[in-house]
């Protein structure tokens, strides 16, 4: 696999369209002891954990991989957290876990499957309401892990019942990006030299120290795994966020990923962490926008988050003070500027980090492909492929209304870009394609037209009050997923759906923060009609367009064939879509292209006998297959 312009090609020169999934959702939590977020004790003893068995036990791996391959998912985004690699302490790597990953990659290689490793994080770590970084990164700043929830610095599912009377709220975890612990750690990691120059760890600025540990860990893992042929590359970091960077007024809630529930302003968050009880606004977000419902007292006992000998890094940096016994803001716009300009997180901090990450890892494998991401739903980086080649823009997209409300209506949505109501199936489908197109357009105009991968998208299977779990009727899920894939097809995008969780159950979902987006549960696929569909896997030329009408069982694909490529064009053609005897029609001048359906291989092959030019192939499912849909 290699990159040429905006295309990814195989060793035979064919243009690939990569399809697969994220493997897997429960890889965010340890396998031993069980680390599911619902378990109150799953944050205890952070050094005594193991991720061996994520994404699935080794003795089950072959069955899972065979299933994925039969679904046409031959390209996988393999979820690996920093914590999984280095939980015992700085520089102490889990070699047993790396040996396990090698065995998984070898099993992929046997099946001609490929993967890239995604260093995954959400809201920094499990102790700050997400996943990713080891606990010791937080402790090095002086934070007490046992006090994070008590002072409102984090909101974890593990400890929610201890501090709240109601049930863990639906999709509340993204609010942790606005809480003290995650916002502080992300700011220090990306921009500590600029905004907290006084904060050091072991005599080194906090930014340099944290980034060096992260990069050294990823480089060590890459060196251990680089000889696995199935491993084509590495990501830089999942869904990076700015923390406090760019905030213009620390008494106003900014950079919020989700404005929901009791959320302090940055100043209030800093005061809470230093032991000041605060009444903070309780927000709700709806069709009409954001409203404040009431105020809620947080940290009523005045507990300090910091261990003895440590203090808030922002207090040390002169951002605020409580020298007179109450919080006072000293630098309202402390995070708003960078070297005399308005601070731009992506340009000034994220892009240099990604460049540094690629340089360090490329030293381990010059042929590796790197997958980079901007802010989800926000800015993408600008990029020079001449300076940093072999890079893919692996942006993410979700149907925001459906994801956060866990409810789907195909004829109704809200455009998150302008908050306008969208009515009608065709208009909703067009909105999906338009939103995904923003990422491809940015890549074309500002990133040197490098390849694009939709690294994450997906659907909450527990939507509509979990009705499908009781009835077994997934038709609405299938319609939603089919609309998403139609938008992906419209842009000829590479894609990896979120996610495949081997141990997903209807009761506990993906085992992390009450999410349930796995296409596999309790031993079988869910809503296959929405995502099990034909697509051109490898084209002996240039893809031009495609479409799949699942209700009529009709697929079309248009491409420009190159006579110098002798290997056939391969179209994934699942039996479930086409039956045993689909009708194939090839439209090309002179009839020089042959089409063949191989039911066992689940492929349609186009054999090019020296023809150059455009070809249109139409595939119509067998009549009995259409009738069964």
Looking at residues 503-519, what average pLDDT do you find?
Answer: 98
Chain segment 403-413, per-residue pLDDT in tens: 999 999 999 99
Q: Give the Å distances, CA to CA, from 501 to 197, 354, 407, 419, 496.
A: 42, 28, 21, 32, 13
Chain segment 374-424, per-residue pLDDT in tens: 999 888 999 999 999 999 999 999 999 999 999 999 999 999 888 899 999
Q: Give the Å distances, CA to CA, from 129 to 21, 121, 299, 415.
A: 24, 11, 17, 28
In this prediction, residue 352 carries a pLDDT of 97
Average pLDDT, the chain: 95
In this prediction, residue 625 carries a pLDDT of 66
- DSSP letters, 211-234, are HHHHHHHHHHHHHHHTT-TTEEEE
Q: Which residues are the active-site residues?
A: 239, 456
- The three-state secondary structure class of 143 is strand
Give the neighbor-by-neighbor strand order of the sheet with 7-9: 2-4, 7-9, 15-16, 535-539, 569-572, 603-608, 593-598
Chain segment 534-573, per-residue pLDDT in tens: 999 999 999 999 999 999 999 999 999 999 999 999 999 9
pLDDT tier at 616, thresholds 50, 70, 90: very high
Paired residues of 92 in beta bridges: none
Prediction pTM value? 0.96
Cβ neighbours of residue 488 under 8 Å, at least 6 residues apart? 436, 454, 457, 495
Looking at residues 86-99, what average pLDDT do you find?
Answer: 98
In this prediction, residue 132 carries a pLDDT of 98
* Assigned token pair, 284: 């709700």
151 within 8 A of 304, measured Cβ to Cβ: yes
Looking at residues 283-308, what average pLDDT do you find?
Answer: 91
Looking at residues 148-172, what average pLDDT do you find?
Answer: 95
* Assigned token pair, 320: 């605020």
Indicate if the pLDDT at residue 627 is higher than 50. no
In this prediction, residue 624 carries a pLDDT of 64
CA distance 39 to 22: 24
CA distance 120 to 122: 7
pLDDT tier at 626, thresholds 50, 70, 90: low
Closest CA relative to residue 348, chosen from 245, 269, 250, 203: 245
Structural domains in the chain plus CATH codes: 18-130+185-242+344-531 (3.20.20.80), 537-628 (2.60.40.1180)
- The percent of residues above 90 in pLDDT, for the chain, comes to 92
Beta strands, E only, 450-508 = 453-454, 494-500
Indicate if the pLDDT at residue 590 is higher than 90. no
Chain segment 426-478, per-residue pLDDT in tens: 999 999 999 999 999 999 999 999 999 999 999 999 999 999 999 999 999 99
Give the neighbor-by-neighbor strand order of the sheet with 583-587: 541-549, 554-561, 613-620, 583-587
């Amino acid at each position: 696999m290699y990159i040429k312009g905006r295309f990814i090609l195989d060793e035979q020169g064919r243009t690939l369209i990569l399809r697969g999934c994220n493997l897997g959702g429960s890889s965010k939590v340890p396998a031993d002891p069980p680390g599911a977020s619902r378990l109150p004790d799953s944050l205890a003893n952070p050094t005594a954990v193991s991720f061996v068995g994520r994404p699935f036990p080794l003795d089950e791996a072959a069955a899972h991989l065979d299933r994925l391959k039969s679904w046409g998912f031959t390209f996988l985004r393999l979820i690996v957290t920093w914590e999984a690699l280095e939980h015992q302490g700085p520089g102490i790597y889990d070699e047993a876990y790396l040996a396990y990953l090698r065995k998984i990659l070898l099993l992929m290689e046997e099946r001609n499957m490929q993967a890239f490793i995604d260093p995954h994080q959400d809201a920094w770590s499990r102790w700050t309401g997400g996943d990713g970084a080891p606990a010791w990164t937080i402790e090095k700043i002086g934070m007490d892990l046992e006090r994070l929830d008590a002072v409102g610095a984090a909101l974890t599912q593990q400890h929610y019942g201890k501090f709240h009377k109601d049930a863990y709220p639906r999709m509340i975890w993204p609010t942790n990006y606005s809480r003290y612990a995650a916002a502080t750690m992300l700011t220090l990691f990306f921009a500590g030299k600029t905004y907290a120059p006084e904060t050091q760890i072991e005599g080194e600025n906090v930014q340099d120290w944290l980034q060096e540990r992260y990069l050294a860990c990823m480089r060590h893992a890459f060196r251990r795994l680089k000889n696995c042929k199935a491993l084509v590359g590495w990501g830089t970091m999942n869904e990076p966020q700015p923390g406090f960077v760019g905030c213009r007024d620390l008494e106003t809630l900014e950079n919020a990923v989700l404005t929901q529930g009791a959320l302090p302003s940055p100043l209030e968050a800093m005061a809470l962490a230093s032991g000041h009880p605060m009444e903070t606004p309780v927000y709700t977000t709806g069709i009409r926008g954001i409203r404040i419902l009431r105020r809620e007292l947080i940290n009523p006992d005045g507990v300090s988050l910091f261990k003895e000998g440590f203090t808030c890094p922002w207090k040390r940096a002169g951002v605020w003070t409580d020298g007179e016994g109450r919080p006072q803001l000293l630098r309202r716009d402390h995070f708003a500027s960078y070297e005399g300009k308005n601070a731009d997180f992506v340009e000034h901090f994220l892009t240099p980090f990604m460049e540094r990450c690629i340089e360090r890892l490329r030293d381990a494998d010059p042929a590796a492909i790197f997958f980079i991401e901007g802010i989800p739903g926000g800015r993408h980086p600008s990029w020079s492929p001449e300076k940093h080649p072999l890079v893919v823009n692996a942006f993410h997209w979700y149907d925001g209304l459906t994801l956060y409300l866990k409810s789907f209506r195909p004829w109704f949505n809200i455009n998150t870009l302008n908050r306008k109501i969208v009515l009608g199936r065709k208009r909703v489908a067009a909105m999906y394609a338009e939103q995904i197109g923003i990422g491809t357009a940015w890549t074309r105009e500002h990133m040197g037209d490098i390849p694009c991968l939709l690294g994450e998208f997906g659907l909450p299977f527990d939507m509509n009050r979990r009705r499908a779990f009781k009835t077994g009727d997934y038709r609405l899920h299938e319609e939603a997923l089919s609309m998403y894939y139609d938008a992906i097809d419209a842009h000829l995008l590479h894609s990896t759906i979120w996610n495949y969780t081997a141990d997903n159950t209807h009761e506990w979902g993906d085992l992390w923060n009450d999410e349930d987006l796995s296409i596999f549960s309790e031993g079988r696929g869910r809503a296959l009609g929405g995502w099990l569909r034909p697509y051109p896997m490898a084209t002996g030329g240039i893809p031009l367009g495609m479409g799949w009408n699942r209700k009529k069982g009709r697929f079309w694909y248009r491409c420009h064939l190159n006579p110098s490529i002798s290997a056939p064009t391969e179209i994934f053609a699942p039996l479930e879509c086409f039956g045993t005897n689909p009708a194939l029609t090839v439209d090309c001048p002179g009839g020089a292209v042959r089409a063949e359906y191989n039911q066992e291989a689940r492929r349609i092959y186009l054999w090019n006998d020296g023809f150059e030019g455009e070809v249109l192939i139409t595939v119509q499912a067998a009549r009995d297959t259409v009738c069964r849909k």
